[in-house]
Amino acid sequence: MRSILAIMALLSTTTFAVCSGSGEEYIYVKDVTMRLNGENATFELNYSLDTFTRLYVLALGCRYLEPELISFLGNYHEVKLLKADINSAALQVNDAGKYNGGYYLFDSRPLGSRTKPINVGVAKFTVVYPEGQVRTFYNVTCTQSVFCQASSLNRTTKKVI
């Protein structure tokens, strides 16, 4: 009985500690990979969690991390969490780029939420283009302004109703 009470006390203390801080206090994003696919982009985040958050996630799962992970790309509109685990996550951003004259243009956007952009740079930010070319940037606080040529395979036609 005492062990059950001790576990419950530990979990409630951990929950309080995790929920009381903002995401950047317990999620440390090490690197980000942005994969371009037409007007969409997939962001792969590699991160580490502080000790209490790690214990919480091991005990109860990653579900509560979803709002913090989505808010990391808070300056985009359509962000969807594809997968998350204790070390990494993948997020899909629809309409991240704009089509213009045969190219998809991806404007620079601050990382973090609209009201609270990150203030500590991400150590490594990599952009992977559809044709396989890779560009790497270091110590960034925003996505990079990049463009890629549209192919006939990834160009979509949108109907206006």
Q: Are strands 27-37 and 122-128 parallel, antiparallel or unpaired?
A: parallel
Q: What share of the chain is helix, strand, coil (3-state, %, to 5)?
A: 25, 40, 35
Secondary structure of residue 69 in the 3-state scheme: helix
Q: Where are the domains positioned within the chain?
A: 23-49+60-149
Whole-number pLDDT of residue 161 = 41
Regions of the chain where pLDDT drops below 50: 16-23, 155, 157-161
* List of residues 6+ apart from 96 with CB closer than 8 A: 39, 40, 41, 76, 106
Q: Say what the pTM is.
A: 0.78
| Rg (the chain; Cα; Å) | 19
